[in-house]
Amino acid sequence: MAFNWNWLGIVVWLLVVLIVIGLILDVRRRHLKRIMSQKEQPTLGNVFLDIAEFLVALAVVLGMFYVTFLDHVDVKDTNQIRLSYEVKPLVMQTQATQGFYVQARESKDKDMVQYYKYWTEGAKYSVPGNNASISESTQPTTLNAKNYPWPDTKKYDKKYQKAYVITMVARYRNNWRNGLGINAGSVATDYTLIRVPSDTFVKIVK
């Protein structure tokens, strides 16, 4: 069984908490000592020491906060990210005289899509518009989808007659760098590319 590097991040966070508590207790000890010695004004050395300890505590907390919550790696960085793809053929739906593979729900802003709904064998899926897009005609990937690495779609175009969906899932690799941010093994992002022969196979719902 592989070692879970997330333990590294947990241990470091515990050390950060202990460091902050230790600095707070040290400041409190020195201030109590000053009060007991009946010194009304703190010395310049104590003031500088208080400021230094505050800056150290702030630096370690902000550093770990950034690594844990704000440090998002590039999905194309294969050293940190592991990509997986799932390809499924679409199943056509019919309503009245229209046949469609995808249903797109428009938002109030006509340039935005709230979500896409599509069907595969025995299943129905709904994905948010900001994590999916439709590819049609001769364009294998859309402008948004081009931000991500994709496998060669030509073989799928031929196999499924340009009616399929590719779901890409990017997971953080189990290494010390991702473990430090307690992200090892978790999903970094996902994206759904819905391929249709033409826009006539897309039903727009307002």
Q: Which of 172, 185, 196 is nearest to 72 (CA)?
A: 172
Confidence at residue 152, expressed as pLDDT on a 0 to 100 scale: 86
Estimate the crossing angle of helix 44-65 against helix 6-36, to 10 degrees.
160
Confidence at residue 137, expressed as pLDDT on a 0 to 100 scale: 67
Confidence at residue 138, expressed as pLDDT on a 0 to 100 scale: 66
Digit-by-digit pLDDT tens for the chain (206 residues) are 678 999 999 999 999 999 999 988 988 888 787 777 766 666 777 788 888 888 988 999 999 999 998 888 889 999 999 999 999 999 999 887 789 999 998 887 666 788 999 999 999 999 998 899 998 866 667 777 888 999 888 899 999 999 999 999 999 999 999 999 999 999 999 999 999 999 899 998 88
Confidence at residue 142, expressed as pLDDT on a 0 to 100 scale: 77
Confidence at residue 5, expressed as pLDDT on a 0 to 100 scale: 95
CB-neighbour burial class of residue 30 (10 A; exposed 0-12, middle 13-18, buried 19+): middle
